[in-house]
Structure 1
Amino acid sequence: MFKSILLPTDGSQLSERATATAIEFAKIHGARMTAVSVIQPLPFVPMADAAVLPDAGVFDREMRVNMQAGLDKVLAAASAAGVECDTVLGEAINPYEVIVKVAEERHCDIILMASHGRKGLNKLFLGSETQKVLAHTHLPVLVLR
């Protein structure tokens, strides 16, 4: 039934646990996986005229290196388990847009993704990418915690 799985990952421990589940799911269904990570640009909120800002170029390079390292871990784990896997490193202000787009472009049957389960002010300020994916895709989404 499921032949192509999309696994969004942010390199967190929660995402690493979701990776193990996604690999087992892929093995059971004889499916291939696509892992996707999204680099978000440095958020800029001017608080004062003399604000000290981090170097956006350094921020971008560090994010790119960290996200690629996370994707490489997924690729290695899938390979060790005998699951075909490729990776996509996207860039967007809103990660859900890249996740939904890649799922459509790769003709995925399902999205397996971790949710941090934030509540209260954390959910308000940090948002929920999982909720946004659910709202913008027609695909089934398996939410892992």
Structure 2
Amino acid sequence: MFKTILVPTDGSRLSDKAIDKAIEFAKYNSSKIVALSVAEPYPFSPMAESTMATDPGTYEENMLALAQQNVQKVADAAKTAGVQCETLTAQAFNPDEEIINAAEKYHCDVIFMASHGRSGLSRLFLGSKTQRVLAHSTIPVLVLR
């Protein structure tokens, strides 16, 4: 039933929990994992141009390298468990859109992802990427906390 599992990761401990569960599930169901990490582009603001402390190119290279490390961690864990894994990285201001796009492109049957469990004002101001994925996904989303 669930042959291809999308596992978005940001490298956090909560993401690691989702990775572990996804690999366990994939092994039990002979499924394949698609690991995704989305790098945030440089947060350019025309008003802050004179106060830039970091070179945008270097920042984005570092963020993409971190995203690659995140998916490599998934690939290594999947390999140890004997689970097939494909990795991909993307760069976007809206990771939720990249998650939805990857699920469609790779014909995923389910998304395993973590929720940071924010509430109140932090949820309002920071938003919930998980909530947006839940709202826009056409496939099941398993949220781990």
Q: How far does residue 54 in structure 1 lie from its aligned partner after superposition? A: 2.1
Give the TM-score normalised by the residue count of structure 2.
Answer: 0.93
Q: Which residue identity does 2:30 align to in structure 1? A: G
What percent identity do the matched residue pairs reach? Answer: 53
Uncovered stretches (5+) of structure 2, i.e. residues with no partner: none
Q: Which residue in the other structure is 1:34 paired with?
A: 34
Q: How far does residue 91 in structure 1 lie from its aligned partner after superposition? A: 1.3
In 1, are the aligned partners of 2:64 and 2:91 still within 8 Å (CA)? Answer: no
Q: Which runs of 4+ in 1 moved over 6 A?
A: none
Q: How many residues align?
A: 145
Instruction: Select the structure that is richer in helix.
Output: 2
Q: Which residue identity does 1:101 align to in structure 2? A: N
User: What is the Cα-based RMSD across aligned positions, in Å?
Assistant: 1.5
Query: 80-89 or 36-45: which moved more?
Result: 36-45
Query: 121-130 or 135-144: which moved more?
Result: 121-130
Q: Which residue in the other structure is 2:144 paired with?
A: 144
Q: Which secondary structure does the structure 1 equivalent of 2:51 belong to?
A: coil
Deviations 1:88-137 (A, max 9, x none): 10111111111111101111110000010111222122211101111111
Whether 1:97 aligns to 2:97 is yes
Q: Which residue in the other structure is 2:6 paired with?
A: 6
Uncovered stretches (5+) of structure 1, i.e. residues with no partner: none
Distance 1:48 1:91 in 2: 22
Whether 1:16 aligns to 2:1 is no
